Amino acid sequence: MKALLYTEAGRENGKVTDIPYPECMDDQVIVKVMCCGICIGVEQGHDTTGTSLSKYPVVPGHEFSGIVHEVGKNVKNCRVGDRVTVDNTVPCGTCYYCKKNKPIHCRDFGSLGHNINGGMAEYVVVSSQKVYHIPEHVTFEEASMTEPVACCVHAMDQIDIQYGDDVLVMGAGPQGLILAQLAKNSGAARVAVVGSTRKKLDILERLGIETILMDRNDYSVHENAVMEKFPLGVDCLIDATGAKELVYSVPKLMKMGGRILGYGYYHGGEELAFPFSEFWDRECTYLSTLSQVGDFGRAVDAIATGKVNTKVLISNEYALDDYFDALDFNINSRDAIKVLIHPFDREDAHEK
């Protein structure tokens, strides 16, 4: 079968090639992959120096949906032909954190597309316990984004928006767009998003979410605009930018006692000089979020009920053979949001 395979980190070690069809064990399911999304952080990691979870050789792709193609003899929760998405996480189940029912902190964490073969392939073998059915009205393309929605659902648990809170989301990338929709459908009074790309902010405005355009050369522009909208500041701020320099301006945007959630991962060699004194002065709380484990059910529901519109996130779609063109587009285009890969031809990708 055809798959994207990295024998080691780095583009010179990656190619679309033929690999053996997977073996289906008694408690496993083989999924025919109809759509797989590019997670720019992870996929760019494979293409350069690897990720924190990488183990090679590996087939990338942890955001995917498809059709159950084969089931093991012990599998009762699904059958051949079912339309599904798959939770990529594989905690060990035996470490200190797993036994404390905190598998997201597992010390021997497995993840499809990182250190276990993932969905950038025609077929992928998964545990039947990780399979989630998708409703008929949800397309494979929409369902392929269940994983990023699940990560954002966990982030909502962390920030714990209270009824009547004012919420600001920093960043209008795919995660920022999802987080803003979830916040809008929480008990928040008002939700606004700061982003630097007008096209992405236009998507949010069509969804009824307030936006503020950032000037990357002058942060005072968006800071002043935020304070005009929220004279006392905001109760909750979610930083989905991954731009560490923005952290320094965050406290001045907060109400006294506000909560800040770091969602975007801060890249780069410099250590983050955290503005502790400003946090103390305002009695703010800084929270973080890692990924997700066990939030797929709520994520599928959010997509199915329209609380999160994933269709509007789709920028471009490519065949698996054109994966590296897709990755380069995702890296280089500021208008790119979610870029999707189809291991099979497009007509087959829409079969029921």
Give residue 349's pLDDT. 46
pLDDT over 50 (residue 60): yes
Neighbours of 209 (CB within 10 A): 20
Mean pLDDT score of the chain: 94
CATH code for the domain of 243: 3.40.50.720
Clarify whether residues 34 and 160 are in a common domain: no
Task: Indicate the pLDDT class of residue 94, thresholds 50, 70 and 90.
Answer: very high
Structural domain includes residue 112: yes
Structural domain includes residue 298: no
Structural domain includes residue 191: yes
Clarify whether residues 98 and 204 are in a common domain: no
Question: Over the stretch 40-58, which tens digit does the pLDDT of each residue have?
Answer: 999 999 999 998 899 999 9
Clarify whether residues 99 and 171 are in a common domain: no
| Alpha-carbon span 189 to 293, nearest angstrom | 29
Task: Indicate the pLDDT class of residue 269, thresholds 50, 70 and 90.
Answer: low
Clarify whether residues 272 and 160 are in a common domain: yes
Give residue 278's pLDDT. 83
Clarify whether residues 131 and 176 are in a common domain: no
Clarify whether residues 74 and 190 are in a common domain: no
Clarify whether residues 34 and 79 are in a common domain: yes
- Residue range 264-288: mean pLDDT, rounded: 79
Q: For the chain, what is the domain count? A: 2
Q: For residue 301, give both structure tokens.
A: 């529901």
Neighbours of 146 (CB within 10 A): 32
- Residue range 164-192: mean pLDDT, rounded: 97
Clarify whether residues 189 and 101 are in a common domain: no
Give residue 352's pLDDT. 37
pLDDT over 70 (residue 289): yes
Question: Over the stretch 322-352, which tens digit does the pLDDT of each residue have?
Answer: 999 999 999 999 999 999 999 998 655 444 3
CATH code for the domain of 319: 3.90.180.10
Structural domain includes residue 268: yes
pTM value is 0.95
Identity of residue 282: R
Give residue 270's pLDDT. 64
Clarify whether residues 280 and 159 are in a common domain: yes
Give residue 281's pLDDT. 86
Domain range for 213 is 152-288
Question: Over the stretch 209-262, which tens digit does the pLDDT of each residue have?
Answer: 999 999 989 999 999 999 999 999 999 999 999 787 787 788 899 999 999 999
Q: Tell me the CA distances in angstroms from 247 to 173, 215, 222, 233, 239, one per residue in order.
A: 17, 16, 14, 15, 8
Task: Give the closest residue to 94 by CA, choosing from 81, 103, 84.
Answer: 103
pLDDT over 50 (residue 298): yes
Clarify whether residues 140 and 156 are in a common domain: no
